[in-house]
Structure formats: structure tokens, C-alpha cells
Amino acid sequence: MRKFAKAFTLAEVLITLAIVGIVAALTIPTLITDYQKRVTAVKVRKSYAELSQALRLAQAEYGDINTWKTVFSSDNAENSRAFAENYITPYMKIAKYCGVGSEADENCGSSSVGAYSSNYLLSNGTGLSIAAYNASGIINLRITVNMKTGKNKIPGTDSFDFVILPDAFEKGILPYGYTQNITREEIKSGYTVNYEDRNHQTNSIRIACLPVEDSDYNEDTETYVRHSCTYLLFVDNFVFKEDYPY
């Protein structure tokens, strides 16, 4: 007498598929986010390395950075473009000039570091924004790794800020908010740095690396809530750790 193997009933198949679907729904978003984090971290690290190499090459050609003409006549877009195209972009692979300030988003989908910034699209697909201001002497730089035209770019997730400080030229390109003798916990929760804040007319600002809020400035605590996230990623060797507010 022929025997037949016992088959699954329709109910059992549906239950199994439902369980598989639930597990997938719970795990796939996490896997996607983890993958996006790794890709973003690699892009930031490589772009930072390319930017640092450009600065070293400029130093080899023009000498000590303290002797450079880092501050031009006044606060305007010409300052930033003159600095960028004298000392930075000749040593980088530039795919496109993206314009001034907000034109960076319109023309390339990247985030500008200020209204007078000079902006570029690199051949590796990331955005570079450079602002050289007369008053502070600080050179602000922003790398945008997640290009999204017309959409808000989140600091520390899509864009990452660096500086060249007039009192620390020898240190090269540093993460925005760099200061000595700071702890990792302070970088996360908040601390004050002597960086000029033009919006609020002060010579110091409070910054932190906190979860995204409706605004990147918390009026209650007078804290820029995402401005030290690049610093946090920097001290963690360009790895998004579990407590990083990605």
C-alpha cells in the first residue's frame, strides 16, 4: 500500500509565513540602518582624508599655514571662493562648482556651511562647502555625504562640519567644536566653545550631540543640539557607536 508524506495544511503555511513576515519587519529596518551608518561613516572618513591631504599639499607648496592669506578684505562670498580655490580645491578632484550659500542645495543637493560659503561637488559624490570669514579667522568646512536636493540635511547624519582654527593652524583640519581637555560625555551632552555665533551676537556658543529636534537650536538651553556630532564621530575613529544619536 502506497504511503504519502504528510503535507502542511494551508493554516500551517499561513502561520509560518506570518511569523517570517513579523521577524523580517522587525529586523530588516535595523539591518538597513546599520548598513547606512557604515556607508556614511566610510564616506566621511574618506572625504576627511582627502581634505586633509589637500591641506598638506597646499602647505608643501605655500609653506606654513600661519603665513597664508586666510583672511581677505571682508565677509563675502569672494573671500570663501578665493581661499578655497587658492589652497584647497586645486588639490582635490572637483566634479562641479555648486555656487554660493543655498545654491549648494539647488545645484548639487548638498548643504552649505553659510550664506557666503563656496560649494563644490567632489568626484566621489560628496559635497564640500568652504567659508572663510574675515572677523573670526576661522575656516569652516562642511562635508555632505547624503545628497538630497530640496530636503533638510541633518547635521551629524547627512552633513559633517570641520574647522581650521587660527590658534591651532598646526593641527590642520579639526572637527567642529574642537577643544582641548573635553570628555566624550561632554561632547554628547553639551559644552561651551569660544566660537563666534553670528546669529546670537556672542563670542561663544554651547553645542551638543543630541537626538534630532524640530530645530537644531534649543532656545531653552541655548544649545546647538547637533553641532558636536562630527566631533563625537571623530573621537570614535569614524565609527557610529550604539549611543550615537544617528
Contacts of 195 (CB under 8 A, 6+ apart): 136, 138, 163, 176, 177, 204, 205
pLDDT band at 207 (very low <50, low <70, confident <90, very high): very high
Task: Identify whether the C-beta of residue 53 lies closer than 8 Å to the C-beta of residue 45.
Answer: no
What is the rounded CA–CA span in Å between residue 174 and residue 164?
A: 6
Q: What is the pLDDT of residue 113?
A: 93
Q: Which of 47-61, 112-126, 164-178 has the lowest average pLDDT?
A: 164-178
Lowest mean pLDDT, pick from 3-17, 42-56, 82-96: 3-17
Sign of CA dihedral 55, 60, 65, 69: negative
**Contact predicate 76/115, CB 8 Å:** no
Note the helical H segments in 90-138: 103-108
Q: How confident is the model at residue 158 (pLDDT cuts 50, 70, 90)?
A: very high
Reported confidence tier of residue 60, pLDDT bands at 50, 70, 90:
very high
Contact 246, 195 (CB under 8 A): no
Q: Are 55 and 168 in contact (CB under 8 A)?
A: no
Provide the 10 A C-beta neighbour count for residue 137.
15
Could you tell me the pTM of the whole model? Answer: 0.85
Q: Where are the alpha helices (DSSP H) in 70-145?
A: 77-83, 103-108
Q: At residue 219, what are phi and psi to the nearest 5 degrees?
A: -65, -35
Helix (H, G, I), strand (E, B) or coil at 72: coil
- Cα–Cα dist 22/24, whole Å: 5
Phi, psi of 111 (to 5 degrees): -105, 135
Ranking 2-6, 107-111, 182-186 by mean pLDDT, the lowest is: 2-6
81 C-beta neighbours (distance < 10 Å), count: 22
Q: How far is CA 171 from the centre of its chain?
A: 19
What gap in Å lies between CA 57 and CA 40, rounded to an integer?
A: 26
Q: How far apart are CA 168 and CA 171, in angstroms?
A: 6
